[in-house]
Structure 1
Amino acid sequence: MFNIRPLSSEFDDEIQHRIDTKTKPLGALGDIETLALQIAQVLGKEGPKISNPKLIVFAADHGIADSGVSIAPSEVTGQMVRNFMAGGAAINVFTRQVGLDLEVIDCGVLQPFDSESGVIDQRLGAGTGPIHKRAAMTLGAVKQGFDMVTARIELHHKDGCNLIALGEMGIGNTSSAAAIMSVITAIPVTDCVGRGTGIDAATFRRKQMLVEQALLLHHSELDDPLQILACIGGFEIVQMTGAILAAAERGMLVVIDGFIATAAALVAISINVDCRDYMIFSHQSDEKGHYLMLEYLQAKPLLKLGMKLGEGTGAALAFPLIQAAVNFYNEMASFEDAGIEI
């Protein structure tokens, strides 16, 4: 489905030697050194450069939200998208600060946006089906979502973009993400479902029950990643999954945000394991299951700030660390360059 080049280890020793001989004690820059190695593997060992980076927010509504799994109604999804376009959300503040170009894609918000809004129209429907009652979408919708987002990633790639960061907006999407997590990792639903935007105890119990109900309903069809998306996914999760795979296919870095984006990463890896090498995990969110997701993927996030907002905020805040890894690799003198004998 996606032809992703496995990363070669041919130049790893050369890249590591370059890192190790910088004017610093061995390993003194810690995880920034590990990140620099990964970036050089993906973008090339000679002068890797981040060019035309994009942060893409994928927005959609979820039918399960009508059953009371969030503190906010579904209408808030559309209202927040308008806030993004007006420049007033946290993700706007952070992307402006770090110099990331922000794009918002409507994957299936309840009410469409007018053509002058600036929102990219890649709608797969007006919200998914309630996953505890029926499938979220058809398999055809999943494939259409992949096709749409692949074309979008190709457009950015042709424009010289070699890094995308993923964000999302969708009331109810932590329920779908928790269901996906439980299916793929075999971790019990009780450890996957969190309190999302801050629900009370009764709502939390209902959310757990509905996710368990969804998994029981679709049990016989959850043995294939595309069917997982069709049965219990979200329109935005589908397109994030496709974006990861399409970007990796084109040799681009992919910055994963929090709980929802990591659920998409789980599905993408299930489709093609080689995409894992292109992912940078930006932060560990405060959502209950995110630590377990990252542990399952053996992923070490760059930040841990107790955040649980989504929108791509963790990915945006991690971007300066990615830039720092590139710059130290390219610009920091070696002991030989500096005339320092050790």
Structure 2
Amino acid sequence: MLAFAAGKKTDAVAEAGARARQQRLTKPAGALGGLEAIAIRLAGLQGRVCPRLERCHISVFAADHGIAAAGVSAYPQAVTAQMILNFASGGAAISVLARHSSARFEVVNLGTVEPLPAHPVVVARVLGPGTADISRQPAMTEDQLGAALDTGAGRVDQARGANADLFIAGEMGIGNTTSATALAAALLDRAPETLLGPGTGVEGRG
């Protein structure tokens, strides 16, 4: 989640004002839990005591992960393409939330094993039929990685250019838990087993 600030730094005055405002609202102090902290942080990022979320942009980045071939998922890779179409047709929870909040919503397809038909909600940025199996070789080439990062930056720039108040990024793809854990393990220098448990519907060796 990325809030577009009025300036480059957090506005401490707006943040303090938002914190004071929370204390004046008709509710017990801290009753909204983490939501209060988010509202205060958002106020500081936007430079407004009362932050606004009138123009939200949601991008779900989707692709297949080659590691799925190693049996780490209970579902076949064809489900990724099916889920993208479900998102695009408004059948997923994020689609409903986007619709009710009047957010601009898109799915960015970076590459699936199953080909996808054109759809007005799906932005095609295909880098290949998913990534390679990281248990056997690098998941992506350096060029693919650069193109993927550029795609993400491009969607943020587009949202900023449309004067969005908030940019929300999500991702989906069969095998994504394993890929995310591999990245986290490498970046945090942690053993994979300390970062995750069984995935959805996965049992035994998977």
Normalised by the size of structure 1, how large is the TM-score? 0.52
Can you list the C-alpha shifts for 1:170-224, whole angstroms capped at 9, x where unaligned? 1111111111122222332112233222111122xxxxxxxxxxxxxxxxxxxxx
Match of 1:160 in 2: 163
1:55 Cα deviation from its structure 2 partner: 2.2
Provide the rounded CA distance (Å) in 1 between the counterparts of 2:48 and 2:120. Answer: 41
Contact 1:113 1:119 in 2 (8 A): no
Provide the rounded CA distance (Å) in 1 between the counterparts of 2:120 and 2:188. Answer: 39
User: Does the alignment pair 1:145 with 2:145?
Assistant: no
Contact 1:51 1:160 in 2 (8 A): no
Give SS of 2:133's match: coil
Q: Could you tell me which runs of 5 or more consecutive residues in structure 2 were left unpaired when the two chains were aligned.
A: 1-6
- Fraction of identical pairs, as percent: 35
Provide the rounded CA distance (Å) in 2 between the counterparts of 1:75 and 1:81. Answer: 10
Q: Which structure carries more helix by proportion? A: 1
Give SS of 1:199's match: coil
Contact 1:73 1:171 in 2 (8 A): yes
Give SS of 1:201's match: coil
Q: Which of 127, 143, 147 matches 2:130?
A: 127
Match of 1:54 in 2: 57
Contact 1:178 1:189 in 2 (8 A): yes
Normalised by the size of structure 2, how large is the TM-score? 0.83
1:45 Cα deviation from its structure 2 partner: 2.5
User: Does the alignment pair 1:42 with 2:45?
Assistant: yes
1:6 Cα deviation from its structure 2 partner: 4.2
Contact 1:61 1:109 in 2 (8 A): yes
Match of 2:66 in 1: 63
Q: Which of 201, 206, 224 matches 2:204?
A: 201
Provide the rounded CA distance (Å) in 2 between the counterparts of 1:196 and 1:167. Answer: 18
User: Does the alignment pair 1:113 with 2:131?
Assistant: no
Can you list the C-alpha shifts for 1:67-98, whole angstroms capped at 9, x where unaligned? 21111111111121122222223333343344
Match of 2:172 in 1: 169
Provide the rounded CA distance (Å) in 1 between the counterparts of 2:92 and 2:17. Answer: 43
Counterpart of 2:130 in structure 1: which amino acid? G
Contact 1:179 1:192 in 2 (8 A): no
Match of 1:17 in 2: 20
Q: Evaluate the alpha carbon distance shift between residue 15 and residue 52 of structure 1 in structure 2; reply closer, same or farther with a 3 A threshold.
A: closer
Counterpart of 1:39 in structure 2: which amino acid? L
Match of 2:88 in 1: 85
Provide the rounded CA distance (Å) in 1 between the counterparts of 2:92 and 2:15. Answer: 40
1:8 Cα deviation from its structure 2 partner: 4.6
Higher relative contact order (CA 8 A, sep 6+): 2
What aligned pairs does 1:1-342 form with structure 2 within 5 A after superposition?
Answer: 5-9=8-12, 11-23=14-26, 26-116=29-119, 118-203=121-206
Contact 1:56 1:102 in 2 (8 A): yes
Match of 1:207 in 2: none
Counterpart of 2:152 in structure 1: which amino acid? V
Give SS of 2:132's match: coil
Deviating more after overlay: 9-18 vs 50-59: 9-18
Provide the rounded CA distance (Å) in 1 between the counterparts of 2:28 and 2:175. Answer: 47
1:116 Cα deviation from its structure 2 partner: 4.3
